[in-house]
Structure 1
């Protein structure tokens, strides 16, 4: 009996040290803090981009954002951002790279709306 207890304790230690199982959709993460400016592409005969200010938002901490004076929250799993509350509730965005997002349409495809994290170079 004495030999079983140390073996059981060692097994429990290994289980506790193992990483958690994956979350459906990918690992949970957060977006970089800052203002995300959203826009639609322009055309050759007009402006290069068309601002879509109604979709602009600022990540303020963790998984919280602010837009139009309202706070909301989002969930980032893998490369999919889902706005879970606030003015943008229900909107889904595909994280293309750090600071670059594309809105996901009802069919699950990227559409034309893009949101870019403001940096000193583009603000």
Structure 2
């Protein structure tokens, strides 16, 4: 088991070459506040991080699943583990 880097994560869908880099999804933004807890829209929740998988186990984002691609970069996956379009990126660290 592990923990995510503390700070704010912005979630987005990829853009294209003719427009913005990505389409921000504010309803999915969250802040990791301590070892296994996050806040989204003011609601505290929990997550479980094992191997390269992150599962939101409580709170507003309960049920969302991610694969940790690198430090501060998560890609949403479906129940079968297939990558989906949404990505969440650490945009500011907490100190």
Shorter-chain TM-score range: over 0.9
Instruction: Report the count of equivalent residues.
Output: 93
Q: Which residue of 2 aligns with 1:58?
A: 31
Q: Which residue of 1 aligns with 2:61?
A: 88
Distance apart, 1:106 and its partner CA:
3.1
In 1, the alpha carbon distance for the partners of 2:31 and 2:92 equals 13
State the TM-score, normalized to the length of structure 2.
0.92
Say what the alpha-carbon RMSD is for the aligned residues.
1.2
RCO (CA 8 Å, sep 6+): is it higher in 1 or 2?
2
- Partner secondary structure for residue 19 of structure 2: coil
In 1, the alpha carbon distance for the partners of 2:74 and 2:61 equals 14
Q: Which residue of 2 aligns with 1:20?
A: none
- For residues 52-106 of structure 1, the C-alpha deviation after alignment (integer angstroms, 9 at most, x for no partner) is 1111100000100001010000000001000000000000010001110000023
User: Does 1:48 pair with 2:21?
Assistant: yes
Which of the pair has more CA radius of gyration? 1
State the TM-score, normalized to the length of structure 1.
0.72
In 2, the alpha carbon distance for the partners of 1:45 and 1:98 equals 28
List runs of 5+ in structure 1 lacking aligned partners: 1-27
Name the structure with the higher helix share.
1
